[in-house]
Chains A and B, each alone.
Chain A
Amino acid sequence: AQTVTQSQPEMSVQEAETVTLSCTYDTSESDYYLFWYKQPPSRQMILVIRQEAYKQQNATENRFSVNFQKAAKSFSLKISDSQLGDAAMYFCAYSPYSGNTPLVFGKGTRLSVIA
């Protein structure tokens, strides 16, 4: 069974600084998708960024980028120029390449942004 591990229950960052959230996963599949979701206190889960395992290039979305290390099964999220609105729970998630399939989530990392 696939598992996703987030080893940092809480992280904090100064406004305008950079922070990296860690995620590792375990799978025997060769093709799959990885995601970072943000969940603010309002609870609405929002997709931040996704990475296809067959792509070697790391995904980027504005201030958000990932460091995808397939051999190490590592998928970290880097947030640059942190803003107060980035404060939330961040979940790493995995989905097999077979398509619309259930996501497997990690336990999450609570990010605080200090003004």
Chain B
Amino acid sequence: GAGVSQSPRYKVAKRGQDVALRCDPISGHVSLFWYQQALGQGPEFLTYFQNEAQLDKSGLPSDRFFAERPEGSVSTLKIQRTQQEDSAVYLCASSLRGLGNYEQYFGPGTRLTVT
């Protein structure tokens, strides 16, 4: 596709359920980022991949959050035993790796509502 895609666009989960959010980056983009955006706030970094390697997961709020990118393209963010405070928009972004190229291209996000 021409841009970053994310699915589902909307997800409603009951408290305690597990959810999986998918990100399809732009073809050929080496770097992939996940951000969490609470209502009325700016996005906050969760984790970062370079190809299949997870280089930074310092932003993951708890061990209930897990991300993977096994083949260096599609990535999945998994949240186990969801809590109400997990309700947010989850944004994925990808970028080329290369000197001077620093633009991150964002997907439309997945809005997660935990009831």
| Chain A residues within CB distance 8 Å of chain B | 4, 33, 37, 42-47, 50, 91, 93, 95, 99-108
Contact = CB atoms under 8 A, between A and B. Distances in A.
A45 B42 contact: no
A102 to B, nearest CB: 4
Size band of the B side of the interface? 20 to 34
A99 B101 CA distance: 8
A107 B102 contact: no
Nearest to B42: A105
Interface string B3-19: 00000000000000000
B91 interface: yes
B87 interface: no
Contacts of B31: 100
Contacts of B99: 99
